[in-house]
Amino acid sequence: MAPKRKNVEVEEEEEDEEEELAFSRNYFLAKEVGSSSGKRSAARKVSEINLVDEQLLRASLSEIPAKHEKEIGSLLESYKSLYSNWLFELRCGFGLLMYGFGSKKTLLEDFASSTLISYTVVVINGYLTSVNLKQVMTTIAEILWEHYKCKGKTSKKQHTQLPSGSKSIDEIITFIDDISDDCNCSVCLLVHNIDGPALRDPDSQQHLARVSCCSCIYLVASIDHVNAPLLWDKKMVHTQFKWSWHHVPTFVPYKIEGLFNPLILSSCGHVQTTKTALVVLQSLTPNAQSVFRVLAEFQLANEKEEGMHVSELYTKCREQFLVSSQVTLNAHLTEFKDHKLVKMRRHSDGHDCLHIPLPSNALEKLLQDLV
């Protein structure tokens, strides 16, 4: 009986080994299939997707019915009980910073119109793609200047003059700070999306921080970007803005804020392409930027042309002392083509020519920003 038992054990071991080998083969086969399908999907390009016209997409979005209007209205109504506390914090010298999911535009404007009636309210729509901060500061200066002139008693700063339009924004803020104590006026600066695309640069944030320190300026702002706090250092938060944070989720759709941003699924993607091209060009050397500018200016001046011959570009760049040899120009062109800034196409005369894949208006905007 012992030999039979041995044979059974051997057969069982062989079956177990075969099962393990089959499992291993299936496992690696599945991994191979998965990796190959991943390569196929990764090879697809965004340009191959059939995108919708932007106007049609926006029209479709506007037809989507609103949801939970009653609940959102009740939530906004509940925040009105906090208005008096917010006003008290403003008068104590704090800046109000509202955060939370949903547009806070309606909430802040209702707070301003119902509670800040003794203040002159100046609104900055930070969600716009471009904001003229200097014009805002000039407006505040003009408001304070009018109250300063109408003041009955004599001021210590009799020689103060309203700064002209040629003055820098720093000089205008200095004027606001100088005149703050001598005018009987309080200005509330209401900033929708202080973390907006046009206000994210350090200079804009520093200007807002400086003006918030003026004794007659009160700041109310909202943020939506998850990394918005990274815009400020410790001094700006605690000494200049002196933020009092308020979590006020509204769940209101970002309809107004979204009007000024290009839709990802729309075919009008030149805005994002121009921004990407600007970032790439700014990382290149001044000579490379100048070579690109020569090509761009030729394309704008000759819109009917199929492109610019490489030899013609080399002649123009050599005349302007931008390149010393064809090798140097080729190095710049290789970098342009690697970043999809320039494309090579076959001219009708059989020669290769260079073309920038941007419409004229986008190319003009790119050259204006490239300083």
CATH class, 69-252 region: alpha beta
**Distance (Å, whole) CA 322 – CA 21:** 65
pLDDT score of 285: 85
pLDDT surpasses 80 at 95: yes
State the span(s) of the chain assigned CATH 3.40.50.300. 69-252
pLDDT score of 38: 45
Residues 6+ apart with CB under 8 A from 196: 125, 126, 127, 128, 131
Full 3-state SS string of 100-149: CCCCCHHHHHHHHHHHCCCCEEEEEECCCCCCCHHHHHHHHHHHHHHHHH
* Listed range (56-65, 129-138, 206-215, 237-246) with the worst mean pLDDT: 56-65
pLDDT score of 43: 42
For the stretch 219-236, pLDDT in tens is 999 999 999 999 999 999
Cβ contact 307:349 at 8 Å: no
Phi and psi, residue 190, nearest 5°? -100, 110
Q: Of the CATH numbers 3.30.365.10, 3.30.390.30, 3.40.50.920, 1.10.10.10, which one belongs to the domain with range 270-369?
A: 1.10.10.10
- Coil, strand or helix: which one is 351? coil
**Distance (Å, whole) CA 37 – CA 96:** 51
pLDDT surpasses 80 at 266: no
Mean pLDDT across the chain: 82
Full 3-state SS string of 220-264: EEECCCCCHHHHCCHHHHHHHHCEEEEECCCCCCCHHHHCCCCCC
pLDDT surpasses 70 at 16: no
Tell me the average pLDDT across 106-116. Answer: 95
Q: State the CB neighbour count (10 A cutoff) for residue 218.
A: 23
Band the pLDDT of 113: cuts 50, 70, 90: very high
% of the chain surpassing 70 pLDDT: 78
Band the pLDDT of 347: cuts 50, 70, 90: confident
Tell me the average pLDDT across 283-300. Answer: 89
pLDDT surpasses 60 at 122: yes
The separation between CA 4 and the C-alpha centre of its own chain, rounded to angstroms, equals 79
pLDDT surpasses 90 at 247: yes
pLDDT score of 24: 66
**Distance (Å, whole) CA 317 – CA 104:** 52
| Between 3 and 257, residue with greater pLDDT | 257
For the stretch 174-185, pLDDT in tens is 999 988 887 788
Phi and psi, residue 247, nearest 5°? -85, 105
pLDDT surpasses 60 at 99: yes
